[in-house]
């Protein structure tokens, strides 16, 4: 693998900050990620932000097919050349924003759920997590690289400041494993922070299914939107426009002290609270 700096210079390109572009310096890291993730010849991969192909090429060698999403037209052209040189004929480059791609349509066309990979830009990480959760029938698992701070938030347990909306959403329906830590120095250009790779196994049926997932996610959002407030005040003053009496009744029936704050609730307690609110509002 040609170094990112040399390759970009040869094409007279520069990393674009607006896309959050940071490229792996060594092909061995991409190969290690693919190996640790357990990619097989039966897998159909959706790679988010293919970049210069550090992950794309080892993925192509291990999987049946790779959909390589790269929104930057300059990098998409460069990637075509790199894939050709590597003899990777099972890769389809898609020059679009990942948020505009229908995951269900892609999975249906392949006749199986997708396996997602990606080095996620910080500015769209949360949106991608929400999509994976809400469209998990189309995705079996995901191996994703996050800034270390965000990865810690996703994995956080109840009770701390890092535990929040994303923690609850993804822990509701997935098993999460920290796969690798990648130093900032292993990227070009060098980012300000280290990265963590998470391996996420999505569950079609959560351990504690909510009666209405969409409503559950709204309750979680409302509870954390004013996280300094008590649950009772946060929910009563939220966009859900819930009456104080209903909130207090739901909290009582869910055996949750109204003076507690959102970050102290487990996923199961959020499910219980959501179900009770739904029953009272029906």
Tens of pLDDT, residues 122-170 = 888 999 999 999 999 999 999 999 999 999 999 999 999 999 999 999 9
Asked if residue 46 lies in contact with residue 99, where contact means CB atoms within 8 angstroms, the answer is: no
Quote the CA–CA distance of 127 and 144 in Å, as a whole number: 13
Q: Which CATH superfamily is domain 4-202 in?
A: Vaccinia Virus protein VP39 (3.40.50.150)
In terms of pLDDT, which residue wins out, 121 or 188? 188
* Residue 61, both tokens: 């060698």
Axis crossing angle, helix 148-155 with helix 165-172, rounded to the nearest 10:
60
Quote the CA–CA distance of 43 and 49 in Å, as a whole number: 18
Range 213-281: architecture per CATH: Orthogonal Bundle (1.10)
Max CA pair span of the chain: 66
Nearest Cα neighbor of 216 from 160, 153, 165, 156 is 165
223-252: per-residue pLDDT in tens? Answer: 999 888 999 999 998 999 999 999 999 999
Spans of all domains in the chain = 4-202, 213-281
Q: What mean pLDDT is reported for the chain?
A: 95
Quote the CA–CA distance of 21 and 170 in Å, as a whole number: 25
């Amino acid at each position: 693998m040609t170094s990112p700096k040399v390759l970009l210079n040869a094409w007279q390109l520069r990393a674009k900050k607006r896309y959050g572009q940071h490229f792996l310096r060594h092909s061995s890291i991409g190969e290690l990620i693919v190996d640790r993730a357990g990619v097989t010849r039966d897998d159909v991969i959706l790679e988010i932000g293919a970049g210069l192909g550090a992950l794309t090429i080892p993925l192509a060698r291990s999987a049946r097919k790779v959909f390589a999403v790269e929104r930057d037209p300059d990098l998409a052209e460069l990637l075509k050349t790199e894939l050709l040189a590597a003899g990777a004929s099972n890769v389809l480059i898609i020059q679009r924003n990942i948020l505009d791609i229908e995951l269900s349509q892609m999975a249906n066309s392949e006749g199986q759920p997708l396996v997602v990979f990606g080095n996620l830009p910080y500015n769209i990480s949360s949106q991608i997590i929400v999509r994976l959760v809400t469209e998990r029938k189309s995705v079996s698992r995901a191996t994703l690289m996050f800034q270390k701070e965000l990865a810690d938030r996703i994995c956080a347990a109840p009770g701390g400041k890092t535990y929040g909306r994303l923690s609850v959403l993804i822990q509701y329906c997935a098993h999460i494993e920290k796969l690798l830590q990648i130093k900032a120095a292993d990227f070009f250009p060098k980012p300000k922070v280290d990265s963590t790779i998470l391996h996420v196994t999505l569950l079609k049926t959560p351990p504690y299914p909510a009666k209405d997932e969409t409503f559950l996610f709204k309750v979680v959002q409302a509870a954390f939107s004013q996280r300094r407030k008590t649950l009772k005040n946060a929910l009563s003053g939220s966009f859900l426009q819930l009456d104080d009496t209903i909130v207090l009744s739901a909290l009582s029936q869910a055996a949750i002290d109204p003076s507690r704050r959102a970050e102290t609730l487990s996923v199961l307690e959020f499910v219980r609270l959501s179900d009770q609110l739904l029953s009272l509002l029906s």
